[in-house]
Amino acid sequence: MKVQFPWDREGRHDEHSSCWIRGSQKIAGALWGHMAIPRIGQEVIISNFDSDPDQPVITGRSFNANQRPPYELPRHKTRMPLKSQTHKGEGFNELRFEDEAGQEEIFIHAQEDQNNIVNHDETTFVGHDRKEQVDPDEVIDIGHDRTETVGNDERVTIGQDRRHDIDRDDYLTIERNHTITTGKTAPNRWATTAATRPPPTTGWRLAGTWSNGWRAMRCWKRASQLSSARALSSYRLAKSSACTAPAEPSRCTTEASHWRGSPSP
């Protein structure tokens, strides 16, 4: 680095104002350590090896009237920032510590991208609430298994479509009721229960049993929407998911492996 000494009246404040001067760093190793290069206009502190003026070294830097601290003092006397400035721009990156009692905080700001690499395990503990916001898209890629546990309720809101692609089996266990409500263009509303449970309420009758070889479930429908003679036989789907009600094909379909019927009268 090169500097302009205040006592040098012949200096032109350019690259010819001094010789090359080394800069001290907090950590200096072989291809590792800490490096912070002073920017043009900053005030630096210069020392000399063995008091030799021909061996200067930059040992520090200081704020002044033209180069003020990033936060107002003494208002933010408990704040310890590490803040940079975008080269030829107005942005910044920052790692900040706040040590005021009751307001302790670690603040991280990335002007553009932030990349984290963990070569082994990562553990995160949040003692209270956590909120995460992603404005455009989010992509999560898990190479093996994933386990997620919710201690109480879970609610997911999707603004448009949802699609699940499963290469093999899908298992769903529900201890109580399962209700699916579709929109105006769907044929019916269904309430399903486990095969060993009775109908959910009076006025409902068994519409049939659906099975694809690994799971069986009985579907209940209001008795007014079923004919008493064919309540069980004509609404049963075989293992091949083929409809066995040729007399009333409009009242039985295997689309998306769900029970469906004609619109309610």
Could you say which of 109, 131, 160 is where a domain stops? 109
Residue 134 lies in a domain: no
Domain boundaries, position 60: 1-68
Do 194 and 233 belong to one domain? yes
Do 93 and 64 belong to one domain? no
H-helix or E-strand spanning residue 57:
strand 56-62
Tens of pLDDT, residues 84-136 = 999 999 999 999 999 999 999 999 999 999 999 999 999 999 999 999 999 99
Residue 183 confidence (pLDDT): 76
Residue 186 lies in a domain: yes
Mention every residue, 6+ apart, whose C-beta is less than 8 A from residue 8.
17, 18
Q: Which has the closest alpha carbon to 191: 200, 149, 183, 12?
A: 200
* Global confidence as pTM: 0.65
Residue 167 lies in a domain: no
Do 182 and 253 belong to one domain? yes
Tens of pLDDT, residues 212-231 = 443 344 444 444 554 443 44
